[in-house]
Structure 1
Amino acid sequence: MRSQWECLLQNVGEWQGSFTRFSPQGELLEDTPTVVSLEGIDNNQTMRQIIRRTLPDQTVNEKVLQYSTLGKQILFFENGAFSQGSIQLAPYSEFGAEHGLIAGDRRLRLVQLFDKTGNLNRITLIREKLPNATTPERPVLKVEDLVGEWHGEAVTRYPDGRAVDTYPTKLRVEKTSDSQLVQHLSIIQQGSQHTISSTGKISGSVLSFETGSQWNQVLLLPDGASAASPQHVRIGQAFFLELGWLMQSDRRQRIIRRYNEKGEWYSLTLVTETKVS
């Protein structure tokens, strides 16, 4: 098994792309061309990260970071997928996370930020490719792309360092009308199966799911991406933040960062799933 540092090194390269900002309702607000370069130096003992953004007036803003250790707020998986962000939801402070998925010569990242009152405030989708990439960008995700039965494997890591969990998953998504979606998620852990069913409203590129007193929303985004989160986070209610990526018509990855009812980050899960029907 790779160390966390070795998992980080799966991200080495010059990633060319853009930071695309959306409103919480999925409206495109701005698109900024970017190049993010990750280079292992000192025999890969140190990571040098250079972020170049081309601003609307064509000036280039450059930021250089260098680090040789990883903080408690970030976890990686074997293939380089990761999530970093707030360890604890706190009153009157901003809260959020960044997630990253990798598939060959392309990378997809998502930043979800909440304001000081706990409302979803800012969503940034970052689509990136290596200089000689041949894999085309995916179209905007549609509800029809998700409909069907998906079989997958989930790998869960914990920030407290306990053993990794690996278990099978099944997800069935049905479109019951033009405005309604039903999904059934089954998880098989320690010999027992748990199924969670939820019904969602379809409104353009936004899917809304009511879970108890909490509304979760899924935004359907360019490059086969989806961003899932509550519209509002608060202490006293467990919640999750998720980036999904339809990399091929029958293959999808999802990375899920979960928080408990105390607002503490307690797990990170990577699901790799294949559509079987």
Structure 2
Amino acid sequence: MTSQWDQLLLNCGRWRGSFDTLADDLQPIKRQPSLLLLEPAPAGVPLELTLLFWPNDPDPNSDPHQGEPVRTIRQSFHGPDRQLVFFPSGSFSRGSWQLAPMVRAHTEFGFLFRDRRHRLVLFWDGTGRFEHPVLIREYRDGSPADERPLLTAESLLGSWQGQQSELLSTAGLSEPEISPCRLHLTERELEGLRWLPDGGAIRVPDPLHHREKFAIEAWWLAAPDRLERMERVYDANGAWQCSRCLTLRRP
């Protein structure tokens, strides 16, 4: 079984893409081109992250990454982080540990498949109202920038099989528990999903109540026969309880 660090390393490379800020009704507000570099130091540690941004809403007929970047973010990873949970596919999740009144909640889901990444950052305001998502679509530098179409219920209905990885909040830096799973998705089980470009979907509590148990879900249909679903589960006290990732194929 691979370690959390090994699963983080699956994300290494140069990732071109964009950060798309959407309204609460998922309509686009702005797009900012990006380039993310994740590379290990010569000794292997730390892992250095550099994130570059270019001006918003570039001309669709020109290279969005031309010219000088307008903002740079740097971060170093020296080891696994309890707030950043990785799964065997290289996909990951992180977010608020504890919810409380007047505290802005957030969570991030990052899907990885071959030379594509599909990431979502979700925000709630201090009253628990869902505020907006940021959709991040990335591809490895030098690979085709092929995106998936807008996800629909019809593409998900039916049988799927694969494995579930689950990591409890009490497990520290241990590896997720893995078990086989089978799903048969019906229209009823897809109720509440909100469809996104590039084969994505979310199901979010709105409003979010920190005195009720709930889950936040993100889905990505990376290929017609490959589905991944992640969720963060919170208990009735507003504490993060576990994270799960289902990696599924058509039987």
Whether TM exceeds 0.5 here: the answer is yes
Partners of 1:244 and 1:43 in 2: how far apart?
A: 36
Q: Which residue number corresponds to residue 64 of structure 2? A: none
Return the TM-score normalized by structure 1: 0.80
Deviations, residues 81-118 of structure 1 (Å, cap 9, x unaligned): 11111111121111111111111111111101111011
Q: Which residue number corresponds to residue 49 of structure 1? A: 49
Partners of 1:55 and 1:241 in 2: how far apart?
A: 31
Which of 214, 217, 230 matches 1:255? Answer: 230
Deviations, residues 237-263 of structure 1 (Å, cap 9, x unaligned): 111112211011121011111111111
Partners of 1:40 and 1:100 in 2: how far apart?
A: 19
Q: Please state if 1:182 is matched with 2:182.
A: no
SS of match in other structure, 1:109? strand
Deviations, residues 187-209 of structure 1 (Å, cap 9, x unaligned): xxxxxxxxxxxx73xxxxxxx3x
CA RMSD of aligned residues (A): 1.9
Which of 207, 220, 223 matches 2:198? Answer: 223
Partners of 2:89 and 2:18 in 1: how far apart?
A: 22
Which of 196, 210, 220 matches 1:245? Answer: 220
Q: Please state if 1:173 is matched with 2:185.
A: yes
The runs of 5 or more residues in structure 1 that have no matched partner are 175-180, 184-198, 201-207, 209-217
Q: Superposition pairs for residues 86-235 of structure 1, below 5 Å?
A: 86-134=96-144, 136-161=146-171, 164-174=176-186, 181-183=187-189, 200=191, 208=192, 218-235=193-210
Query: Kindly tell me: are residues 136 and 36 of structure 1, through their superposed partners in 2, closer, same or farther at Cα, counting changes over 3 Å?
Result: same
Q: Please state if 1:273 is matched with 2:239.
A: no
The CA deviation at 1:229 is 1.2
Partners of 2:57 and 2:154 in 1: how far apart?
A: 39
Q: Confirm or deny: 8 A CA contact 2:34 2:51 kept in the other structure.
A: yes
Deviations, residues 68-88 of structure 1 (Å, cap 9, x unaligned): 134321111123211111111
SS of match in other structure, 2:2? coil
Q: For 2:6, give the aligned amino acid.
A: E
Q: Please state if 1:236 is matched with 2:211.
A: yes
SS of match in other structure, 2:5? helix
Partners of 2:9 and 2:43 in 1: how far apart?
A: 12
Q: Which residue number corresponds to residue 4 of structure 1? A: 4
Q: For 1:63, give the aligned amino acid.
A: I
Query: Kindly tell me: are residues 76 and 164 of structure 1, through their superposed partners in 2, closer, same or farther at Cα, counting changes over 3 Å?
Result: closer
Q: Which residue number corresponds to residue 21 of structure 2? A: 21
Q: Which residue number corresponds to residue 215 of structure 1? A: none
Query: Kindly tell me: are residues 147 and 256 of structure 1, through their superposed partners in 2, closer, same or farther at Cα, counting changes over 3 Å?
Result: same
Q: Which has the higher strand share?
A: 1
Q: Where in structure 1 do 4 or more consecutive aligned residues deviate above 4 Å? A: none
Q: Confirm or deny: 8 A CA contact 2:30 2:57 kept in the other structure.
A: no
SS of match in other structure, 2:170? coil
Partners of 1:100 and 1:33 in 2: how far apart?
A: 18
Tell me the percent identity: 30
Partners of 2:100 and 2:84 in 1: how far apart?
A: 18
SS of match in other structure, 1:139? coil
The CA deviation at 1:42 is 4.4
The CA deviation at 1:135 is 6.7
Q: Confirm or deny: 8 A CA contact 2:160 2:182 kept in the other structure.
A: yes
